[in-house]
Amino acid sequence: MMDSQRPFLYITLIFIGFLLWMNWQNDYNSPQPTAVETTENGSTSTGVATDNSVPEQPESGSPVAPNDTQQAASKDNEQLIQVRTDVLELQISTRGGDIVVADLPTYPVSLEEPDNPVRILNWEDEAYAAQSGLLVRSNGGEGKRAPTHQDIFTAAKSEYVLQEGEDTLRVPLTWTSDDGVTVTKVYSFRRGQFAVGMEQLVQNNSEQSWAGTEYRQLQHGPAPPAPGGFLTSGVRAFVGGAYYVDDAYKKVSFDDMVDGVATETIDGVTRSKVVTGGWVSMLEHYFISAWVAPRDAQTRYFSKEIGNQLSKRYILGMYSDQVKLAPGESGSFNSTLWVGPKLQDDLEAIAEGLDLTVDYGIFAFISKPIFWVMQWIHSIVGNWGWTIIFLTLLIKLIFFWPSAASYKSMAKMKAVAPRLKELNERYSDDPQAKQKAMMEIYRKEKINPLGGCLPILIQIPVFMGLYWVLLESVELRQAPWLLWYKDLSIRDPYFVLPIIMGASMFVQQKLNPPPADPMQQKIFQFLPLIFTVMFLWFPAGLVLYWVVNNILSIAQQWFINNKIVGKPKTE
């Protein structure tokens, strides 16, 4: 018969292998950063003369394709407009009204640099910007009648600040065509909000009708390399694009953007699929930028790759419905830009499926309930470290009886261990007789030899779910506990918790029946050391969960061994 500890060993080794595999992903195929063009005075520019980042006017029934002939306006008149609210510090270029820099003053890069804010949009270093513009049908060469993100707007001021006592801030930029079409792009900000309203007002003062489509796009250079090394970097969060179509959340890597997104082929013609509402986004660890269409608007997606091997850039965007204006009429295009942290409740309120950008991967079905419970506990205790401890207590309480049955089985196994050892020696040359005798002992003592596997089977999915909560939930980023634990999402700086965890695993082993196979005994002896080394680099909050779980398991197992099953027998 298979040794009763062998399944436990297999599960443990599979668990270790899975953790090592996740860490290995960080060092595989790390891309190189992109180069970005600068102007003669050193400022960044959002367009160049041969740039093909402007999408082509979508034709009904025809595929969406890049426009290689679009010419950029002169760089000489480009300026950067500074915008400051209580949670955002932006730079808006007068070239197209693009947002080329977005800083988050309430989210420092690290606790050691409290005055250095996280920068999401960053054109100069990452070719990362939020862009938008209007496209019109050709009108016989009568001049440009709508601005793309490469045309120059004008602004009344160079700086806009949300003052104390004010709840809203509007930043207008204006463009006018030669024949009298005026476009005013207005950004609207609200206190405490990372959602930015964007409206393009079109006043057709020309003598001809006007028909145009709005596009909104996010442009990004290649993803930067993952920080750190094999064990120090942890699991790398996804960096790339995402969108929502057919009630499904879709991720798209930068390399795959060249193939287009959300297309359909009808009668041999490939074109963008029409969706209601929708959004496109660029994801990184903890933070996101996203263009969100009105919920009832008809939308089509597009994506492409531009640039050359030395300076590749990737675009993910969306088209609006066409707006038609008679001479003298006015109309508008509306959308929302989210540029900020992945706050799940806020994202869910803005658009369906946007909260899924908090990407828990295959463990979402575990991570989401864990995070929901943690939010509830945190609303009471107000500290994420104590939240993890109370979460562990709650999980232990929920699985108390299944765990108790397993520990009782393990205690009985330990009690009959001397008898099993005697059988091993007596029937060393007769495996069948040994198996029959062992089965008879298990039957009489009512022992399930596989029962000891249940505690670790319960722990592994919860462990993985909590791992991704700590990795992806910005609410736990830089969350303190006590003493030197200032950030539970990074490793313990003094490795105290991993050492305690290893010691608790060693104590647990002493409470369990030893494997009959000498080789397995040696492997089990090294497991606490192996886990300790691995957990040195894991988030402190995750190790805290494991330590508390181990301590509770030791108490439960000791009580069962000594008070319920009794002292080990020696007969």
Condensed to tens digits (0 to 9), the pLDDT of residues 118-128 reads 999 999 989 99
Q: Which two tokens stand for residue 416?
A: 């009959």
Phi, psi of 479 (to 5 degrees): -85, 125
Q: Higher-confidence residue: 246 or 462? A: 246
DSSP H helix total and E strand total for the chain: 12, 20
Give me the pLDDT at residue 25, please.
45
Q: Which two tokens stand for residue 378?
A: 């945190």
The winner for highest mean pLDDT among 3-12, 439-448, 498-507 is: 498-507
Give me the pLDDT at residue 78, please.
84
Residue reference for tokens 């397993």 = 406
pLDDT in tens, 315-346: 999 999 999 999 999 999 999 999 999 999 99
How far apart (Å, rounded) are the C-alpha atoms in residues 253 and 122? Answer: 19
Give me the pLDDT at residue 201, please.
97
Amino acid at 267: D
Q: Do residues 101 and 121 make contact, with C-beta atoms less than 8 angstroms apart?
A: yes
Compute, in degrees rounded to 10, the torsion defined by CA atoms 560, 562, 565, 568. Answer: 130
pLDDT in tens, 343-383: 999 999 999 999 999 988 788 888 999 999 999 999 999 99
Residue boundaries of the structural domains of the chain:
6-24+369-565, 31-224+235-359
Sign of CA dihedral 367, 369, 371, 377: negative
> Helix or strand or coil: residue 148?
coil
- 66-71's contacts with Cβ under 8 Å and 24+ in sequence apart are 66/304, 66/306, 70/148, 70/150, 71/150
Q: Do residues 225 and 233 make contact, with C-beta atoms less than 8 angstroms apart?
A: no
Q: Enter the DSSP assignment of 40.
A: T
Q: Report the DSSP pairing between strands 195-204 and 269-272.
A: unpaired
Contacts for 450 with CB less than 8 Å, ≥ 6 apart: 4, 7
Length of the chain: 571
pLDDT in tens, 288-313: 999 999 999 999 999 999 987 778 89
> Helix or strand or coil: residue 342?
coil
- Per-residue DSSP letters for 151-209? SBPB-S-SEEE--TT--EEEEEEEEE-TTSEEEEEEEEEETT--EEEEEEEEEE-SSS-
The alpha carbon of 213 is separated from its chain's Cα centroid by a whole number of angstroms, namely 32
Amino acid at 79: Q
Q: Enter the DSSP assignment of 60.
A: T
The alpha carbon of 112 is separated from its chain's Cα centroid by a whole number of angstroms, namely 23
Listed residue (465, 432, 434) closest to 363, CA to CA: 465
Q: In which band, very low, low, confident or very high, does the pLDDT at 246 lie, cut at 50, 70 and 90?
A: confident
The alpha carbon of 100 is separated from its chain's Cα centroid by a whole number of angstroms, namely 22
How far apart (Å, rounded) are the C-alpha atoms in residues 418 and 424? Answer: 10
Give me the pLDDT at residue 16, please.
59
- Choose the weakest-confidence range: 25-29, 323-327, 430-434: 25-29
Let me know the angle formed at the C-alpha of 564 by 561 and 565, rounded to the nearest 5 degrees.
Answer: 60
Q: Which two tokens stand for residue 80?
A: 């950067």
How far apart (Å, rounded) are the C-alpha atoms in residues 515 and 106? Answer: 53
pLDDT in tens, 393-405: 998 888 777 666 6
Asked whether residue 150 carries a pLDDT value surpassing 70, the answer given is: yes
Amino acid at 296: D
Q: Which two tokens stand for residue 339?
A: 């540029």
Give me the pLDDT at residue 94, please.
96
Give me the pLDDT at residue 300, please.
93
* Cβ-based neighbour number of residue 32 at 10 Å: 12
* Cβ-based neighbour number of residue 239 at 10 Å: 17
* Cβ-based neighbour number of residue 189 at 10 Å: 24
> Helix or strand or coil: residue 454?
helix
| H or E element, residue 232 | none
Asked whether residue 187 carries a pLDDT value surpassing 90, the answer given is: yes
Compute, in degrees rounded to 10, the torsion defined by CA atoms 260, 266, 272, 277. Answer: -130
Give me the pLDDT at residue 288, please.
96
- 3-state SS of 372-404 is HHHHHHHHHHCCHHHHHHHHHHHHHHHCHHHHH
The winner for highest mean pLDDT among 134-138, 455-459, 503-507 is: 503-507
pLDDT in tens, 42-76: 344 444 334 677 877 665 433 333 343 334 444 55
Asked whether residue 19 carries a pLDDT value surpassing 70, the answer given is: no
Please, what's the b/e burial string for 534-546 (b: 16 or more CB within 10 A of its CB; e: otherwise)? bbbbbbbbbbbbb
Q: In which band, very low, low, confident or very high, does the pLDDT at 464 lie, cut at 50, 70 and 90?
A: confident
Q: In which band, very low, low, confident or very high, does the pLDDT at 77 lie, cut at 50, 70 and 90?
A: confident
The alpha carbon of 395 is separated from its chain's Cα centroid by a whole number of angstroms, namely 25
Phi, psi of 54 (to 5 degrees): -80, 125
Residue reference for tokens 């991967």 = 361
Per-chain mean pLDDT for the chain: 80
- Choose the weakest-confidence range: 17-31, 77-91, 196-210: 17-31
- What is the pLDDT averaged over residues 473-479? 89
How far apart (Å, rounded) are the C-alpha atoms in residues 133 and 185? Answer: 9
The CATH number given to 31-224+235-359 is 2.70.98.90
- What is the pLDDT averaged over residues 452-461? 66
**Strand pairing partners for 283?**
240, 288
Q: Do residues 405 and 457 make contact, with C-beta atoms less than 8 angstroms apart?
A: no
* Cβ-based neighbour number of residue 28 at 10 Å: 8
Give me the pLDDT at residue 68, please.
36
How far apart (Å, rounded) are the C-alpha atoms in residues 449 and 409? Answer: 7
Q: Higher-confidence residue: 474 or 28? A: 474
Residue reference for tokens 């999980």 = 395
Q: In which band, very low, low, confident or very high, does the pLDDT at 450 lie, cut at 50, 70 and 90?
A: low
Percent of the chain with pLDDT over 70: 74
> Helix or strand or coil: residue 284?
coil
Listed residue (444, 205, 417) closest to 329, CA to CA: 205
